[in-house]
Amino acid sequence: MNPFNPTELCGLPSADELHNALLEGENSDARERIALLFDQDTFVETGAYAKRGFSDFFATENSNELEGVITGYGAIDGKLVFAFVEDASRMGGMIDERHAAKIANLYALALKNGAPVIGVFNANGTDIFAGTAGLAAYGRILATVSAASGRIPQIALIAGKCIGLSAAIASLFDFAVKEDGASFYVSSPDLIKKGELSDKILAFHGDKGPSAGFIRALVSFLPSNANVGTIANPPTDKLERMLGNVDFGGDGQAIVASIADNGIFCSVASDFAPEAVTAFTTIAGVKCGVVASSASVNEGRITANSARKISRFVNFCDAFSLPIVTLVDSMGLIMDVDNEKAFFAPEIARLASAYASAACPKVTVLLDHAIGASFALLGSKALGADIVYALETAEICALPADAGVAFAWDRYITLEKTREELVEEWKKTVSSAAYAASSGEIDDVISTSELRARVCSALLMLCCKGIGPDDGRRILPL
């Protein structure tokens, strides 16, 4: 040891040692994910030389180790995006005060610039020797993420271990993506004898490459922040494009593709509650969110899970001024024990509240069926929809035709008038789209062929909704 070198005397790493530590991590999994997420050579690191203070370690040989999280910014399809990436090759990705400080500093920059944040989770928890300081680091990250909620989009990528309070932090993000083989839970599945329940909120899960690809696609459809307002770009598809007499076969994904510009959209949480599709797309050049029933799954009936899925999606769209297009093909609520155990009534209430409180543009189309509660809950005029259309073949009523006949017209069944004939008569009268529209709750009855053209027209008309001296919403000009 050189007694005249204060850095060496105090046990501090030299600049060369810190630089070498950076170079050693160039081929880590964390760096690979950064390369997959960002446009080539655009990622710029912040706080690159931050490290755990050597005095915090019992073993001084760890004093040169860099902090277990990489922070920085770059471009995704040319759009500014910030990211923090927990690096298991540094300190096992352990969370401590400086870990939290780096993330907080990153968020400060993201909020100042109005840009999304991607958080990549892969940490082994906190250092038990850090005591309350380590626990406070979790609290600081929780507070940081909470403060940014509704102001900038936040996407979590579960790339390794994300357990305990880390799982809570990731769950605060707007969307959670999980790589195959990663761990995402508060209580170990081995302990509770069940699968990872946190998987129920996933926007996507898959291998490393597809997960990064999904995030890149998702970012392209999202506004950078809540102050951007409704985004209307020049349309890349014909506004008047007719669909013909297409049969969607109850496939919600096919319905979304039919009205999306060039059939391009990004479906979110497609494996969770598949009876409802939630997706981001552009229609007539307007970035928007779409909710579509999949009648091929449980007749499109609303479950506790689908109600939760839709309400979260609607709340996000409203926070970021994304118009909501709702395509209804549902036979109402599902009635079973499992859904009642899942707190069905509160989830339905949250769904209604999400639509009712949303101030963004809302367009609803009733497709083949809108029976019972589905008519009221899924973007009805009563819950604040701006425009509601119904297909001319739609069945809209409190009860499906066969149940309605059994309840109200059973006494009219004779040798000359069969039940089947009465059911057809019910569909043509009581549950017809025209009769439903006569109440004023439906603006127009349209054909399947003109579905996209009508939605395009409504969205372009509603682009200016809410623009006024007392409203903060803005629109990017065509």
Write down which residue in 194, 221, 248 finishes a domain.
221
152-172 pLDDT tens trace: 999 999 999 999 899 999 999
Is residue 455 domain-resident?
A: yes
Q: Which 3 state secondary structure label does DSSP give 181?
A: coil
In sequence order, the 6+-apart residues with CB closer than 8 A to the CB of 48 are 22
Query: pLDDT at residue 57 above 70?
Result: no
Is residue 400 domain-resident?
A: yes
Please report, for the domain that includes residue 363, its CATH number.
3.90.226.10
Pairwise CA distance, residues 54 & 60, whole Å = 6
Is residue 37 domain-resident?
A: yes
Domain that holds residue 45: 6-221
The amino acid at 410: D
Pairwise CA distance, residues 209 & 270, whole Å = 18
Is residue 317 domain-resident?
A: yes
pTM above 0.85, yes or no: yes
Is residue 1 domain-resident?
A: no
Is residue 281 domain-resident?
A: yes
The pLDDT value recorded for residue 236 is 94
The pLDDT value recorded for residue 71 is 97
Compute the half-sphere exposure of residue 446: CA atoms within 13 Å on the CB side of its CA: 22
Is 337 buried (19+), middle (13-18) or exposed (0-12) by CB count in 10 A? exposed
Confidence of residue 65 (pLDDT cuts 50, 70, 90): confident
Tokens of 206: 């898959």
For residues 192 and 331, membership in a common domain is answered with: no
For residues 179 and 263, membership in a common domain is answered with: no
Is 314 buried (19+), middle (13-18) or exposed (0-12) by CB count in 10 A? buried
372-403 pLDDT tens trace: 999 999 999 999 999 999 999 999 998 887 88
Q: Which 3 state secondary structure label does DSSP give 62?
A: helix
Pick the closest to residue 84 from 54, 108, 57, 63 (CA basis).
108
Pairwise CA distance, residues 276 & 84, whole Å = 32
For residues 373 and 467, membership in a common domain is answered with: yes
The pLDDT value recorded for residue 191 is 62
Confidence of residue 6 (pLDDT cuts 50, 70, 90): very low
What ranges in 158-205 are assigned the alpha helix state H?
165-172, 189-192
Rounded to an integer, the average pLDDT of 53-57 is 48
Pairwise CA distance, residues 45 & 423, whole Å = 67
179-228 pLDDT tens trace: 999 999 887 666 655 555 555 679 999 999 999 999 999 999 999 999 99
For residues 32 and 140, membership in a common domain is answered with: yes
For residues 59 and 169, membership in a common domain is answered with: yes
Pairwise CA distance, residues 255 & 277, whole Å = 10
Contact 193, 438 (CB under 8 A): no
The pLDDT value recorded for residue 339 is 81
Query: pLDDT at residue 261 above 80?
Result: yes
Is residue 179 domain-resident?
A: yes
For residues 174 and 288, membership in a common domain is answered with: no
DSSP assignment of 322-372, as one string? --EEEEEEE--B---HHHHHTTHHHHHHHHHHHHHH--S-EEEEEEEEEET
What phi, psi does 390 have (nearest 5°)?
A: -135, 135
In sequence order, the 6+-apart residues with CB closer than 8 A to the CB of 247 are none
For residues 21 and 162, membership in a common domain is answered with: yes
Pairwise CA distance, residues 97 & 100, whole Å = 5
Contact 62, 94 (CB under 8 A): no
Is 38 buried (19+), middle (13-18) or exposed (0-12) by CB count in 10 A? buried
For residues 13 and 135, membership in a common domain is answered with: yes
Contact 265, 278 (CB under 8 A): no
Per DSSP bridges, beta strands 117-121 and 154-158 are parallel
For residues 296 and 440, membership in a common domain is answered with: yes
Is 84 buried (19+), middle (13-18) or exposed (0-12) by CB count in 10 A? buried
In sequence order, the 6+-apart residues with CB closer than 8 A to the CB of 287 are 221, 222, 223, 230, 231, 232, 233, 280, 281, 322
Confidence of residue 141 (pLDDT cuts 50, 70, 90): very high
In sequence order, the 6+-apart residues with CB closer than 8 A to the CB of 266 are 214, 217, 218, 220, 221, 279, 280, 281
The pLDDT value recorded for residue 477 is 43
Write down which residue in 186, 221, 256 finishes a domain.
221
Higher pLDDT, 46 or 51: 46
Tokens of 326: 């709702």
For residues 82 and 208, membership in a common domain is answered with: yes
Residue with tokens 């069940």: 194
Is residue 241 domain-resident?
A: yes
280-290 pLDDT tens trace: 999 999 999 99
For residues 121 and 181, membership in a common domain is answered with: yes
Pick the closest to residue 304 from 335, 258, 261 (CA basis).
335
Query: pLDDT at residue 61 above 70?
Result: no
Confidence of residue 12 (pLDDT cuts 50, 70, 90): very low
Write down which residue in 181, 201, 221 finishes a domain.
221
Pairwise CA distance, residues 413 & 409, whole Å = 7
To 5 degrees, how large is the angle CA 174–CA 179–CA 185?
A: 65
- Number of structural domains the chain divides into: 2
Higher pLDDT, 185 or 18: 185
Most confident of 86-95, 186-195, 322-331, 339-348: 322-331
Query: pLDDT at residue 15 above 80?
Result: no
The amino acid at 44: V
For residues 129 and 276, membership in a common domain is answered with: no
Facing residues of 278 across strands?
Answer: 268, 291
